[in-house]
Amino acid sequence: MSRIGKKAVPVPAGVTAEVAGQAVNVKGPKGALSFTVHDLVEVTKGDEGIAVKPRDESKQARSLWGMSRTMISNLVVGVSKGFEKKLEINGVGYKAALNGKTLTLSLGYSHDVLFPVPEGITIQVAGPKQDQIIVTGIDKQQVGQVAAEIREWRGPEPYKGKGVKYADEKIFRKEGKKK
């Protein structure tokens, strides 16, 4: 039994949720999102919130049960609070700047990296040396994907720790060459 799947997703005040067949539509103060649940999972809206349960006891239905509940929960949290990922840039001369809808990254290459900000995502550059990037949005998957694409341009290296890393990421440091 899925411990996560057993719990109903509570719908807070100010958020409206509709269940139409396998489609779940959620609207809130930050926007609207929708998710189509797999046919092996049944979705109902009740007094406690949105309940999810498997249609049968097959392994695939039980696997999709908890995942579907989490996806619906992410919709509710996204339209009410939103999601945020923080990135840090470490290295001499490494910095970020925001020019309209384009993020300009100076990461030690012979040219600046131009990253167009996708629709539905907000990026802020902070810090005294323009070395912190904050990615926010209502779609958890899209926020994580944009943060991963920015990090991919210059991932953190283990010797000096230079590069782009998540704010809560721990870099395993290695010892350099010895004479």
**pLDDT tens by residue, 138-153:** 999 999 999 999 999 9
2 by DSSP, 3-state: which? coil
With b for 16 or more beta-carbon neighbours within 10 A and e for fewer, the 51-84 pattern comes to: bbebeeeeeebbebbbbbbbbbbbbbbbbbebbe
Is pLDDT above 80 for 2? no
Closest CA to 132 of 92, 171, 95: 95
Q: Which residues, 6+ apart, have CB-to-CB distance to 171 below 8 Å?
A: 156, 158, 161, 165
Cα separation, 116 vs 70, in Å, equals 29
Split at pLDDT 50, 70, 90, the class of 34 is: very high
Q: Do 130 and 23 touch, CB atoms closer than 8 A? A: no
Instruction: Report, as an integer, the average pLDDT of 72-77.
Output: 94
Cα angle 138, 141, 143; round to 5: 60
Q: Show the tokens assigned to 104.
A: 């300009």
Q: Do 103 and 132 touch, CB atoms closer than 8 A? A: no
- What are 120-174's pLDDT values in tens digits? 999 999 988 899 999 999 999 999 999 999 999 999 999 998 999 999 999 999 9
Strands (E), 16-120: 16-20, 23-28, 31-36, 41-45, 50-54, 83-90, 95-99, 102-106, 113-116
